[in-house]
Amino acid sequence: MCKIFKIVTHSVLEIAMVLIFRVKGSTTQLHCSLNVNLIADLVASDETSSLLLYRLNPIKASRAGLERTISILDSVGVHLSDEMKLLIESLERDACDVYFVLEPPDIVLYTDSNIITKRLSAERMVVFDRRTATYRVLPKNLHRVLEIAEQQGLRCRLGFELDYRASFEAHLKIELRDYQLEAYRAWVRSGYRGVIVLPVAAGKTVVALKAIGELGVKTLVLVPTIDLLNQWADNIVKLLSVPASKIGIYGGGRKELSDITIMTYDSAYINLERYPNLFGLVIADECHHAVSPSYRRALENITAPYRMGLTATPYRSDGLHKHYVDVIGPVVYTLESEVLQSRGYLARHREERIYVSLPEVELREYRRLMKLYLEFCRKRLPGIRDPRERFRRVLELASRDREAREALRMKHRARRIALSNERKIAVVEELLSKYRDEKILIFSRYTDIVREISRRFLIPRILHDTLDDERKEYLKMFREGRIRILATAMALDEGVDVPDASVAIVVSGTGSHREYVQRLGRILRPKDREAVLIEIITKRTVEPSMARRRRRFEIFVDKEE
């Protein structure tokens, strides 16, 4: 059994610990204000009206003692409530040095120790808010702050409940594979924090279920799509001894909180601030989403001491993966698909590229459009040669420049000609005949090509506007072998439990490495034959370079580091 993080269990008073009052700075009252400094912190002063604004500091007040605190406040005409009196008495009796209060989205730290505030400020664990004269802690840092205070021999109290214990005992019903156990142990050694990188179809979910069962704390599972809400719930019921009544779904129109809550990232961004101290463990599925600015803020707003990220594609082209350490933990375990293929856990595969040409008329139009785009770039961005950086800069210009918007339209039309080449559909027809006994997934960048393939070859399609019931039925039929071909336009790239296929046909795609990894993962579940990934690429266009780029595994380093 894993060692459970120390949970603060002492009795607390859950009250809004805010008392702000003004003191008039006359000669007599100035003497009183000096006494006020013994029990409160100066927030602001107004020299024109000689007013001083104070905020009661309960730790200072407990040092002064309740009777003296009441006397000082009476002298400036401020009433102390019965709840405040009880709190100050309690802090005085326990000789507390630090007191924490929830003021979402932050936690306010009250103390009279300059030593602890200097140490915490040096480690960037607290920020001094001059507007309120308070030290503020991000909820994600609470446990580290408590550790530092304890190391310095300080006694701490919380003004809010912090009990993560779940009301169930969960046990994983299956044994972890050797690499899954290695991943879990690496995460434990990292202090129950960190990102686990495993290929698609390698069973990342099972590692997370192991953590839920071992820790026995209230758990939040974050997912990028509505589909994954129910998939996670099904896996928890199936593989953990947890009743469905202990699982809450938060997203897709539902707002259920329970011992295990499964929530979309979008819902977390909007709502998670309301539950800062509820969860002990947070599991970020497809955690490359979690480090985007808005979702990252949601993770900063909860106190969960245990954090696990799961992904097959940890690195982002914008470099935001550098924030894993801050909100989830470092990458603690990585295993490539080739290793699992050699061990028999994933199917072996080969990749093929079939090149087609554009008809002469379309090729001329493609070149004309690209020429217009490149002429704009040479005129307005003469010093930029990298195509991706150039495209990014044109996008920035387009928000305020009509000519830039027109250049983008030219590039988009040119790309569409290259990626939607009619000759690709003829190749698809040949491949469907060649692999007539295999289960096939067809991917395309554009929905109109998917619709045409679906219409022409009577193939079920799953697009962004496919009804949920229809989508589930198609996937069920594919899993059971009642249909053997599905076509999609990126709707199955991520966040959907796609039944295994043996052939993937990529009619078109982007330059994203993540997209490539996800599509490859759809055919890698163990099987008794070699899987095949086939890309159809239009020659003499931008598409060959896009195909090369998506295969490249890049680690982006922050330029400031």
Domains of the chain in start order, with CATH, are: 20-158 (3.40.1170.30), 178-342 (3.40.50.300), 349-354+421-551 (3.40.50.300), 359-419 (no CATH)
Taking the C-alpha atoms of residue 226 and residue 231, their distance in angstroms, rounded to an integer, is 9
- Give me the pLDDT at residue 427, please: 96
Angle between helices 360-380 and 387-398 (to 10 degrees): 70
Are 164 and 216 in contact by the 8 Å Cβ rule? The answer is: no
Token readout for 310 is 């799961």
Residues of the chain with pLDDT under 50: 1-16, 27-28, 30-31, 554-561
Give the tens place of pLDDT for each residue, 191-223: 999 999 999 889 999 999 999 999 999 999 999
- Give me the pLDDT at residue 451, please: 92
Across-strand partners of 472?
A: none
User: Rounded mean pLDDT of the chain?
Assistant: 88
Burial of 242 (0-12, 13-18, 19+ CB in 10 A): buried
- Give me the pLDDT at residue 1, please: 34
- Give me the pLDDT at residue 9, please: 34
Angle between helices 422-434 and 447-457 (to 10 degrees): 50
Question: DSSP per residue over 189-248, as a string?
Answer: HTTSEEEEE--TTS-HHHHHHHHHHHH-B-EEEEESSHHHHHHHHHHHHHHBS--GGGEE
Token readout for 147 is 């550790």
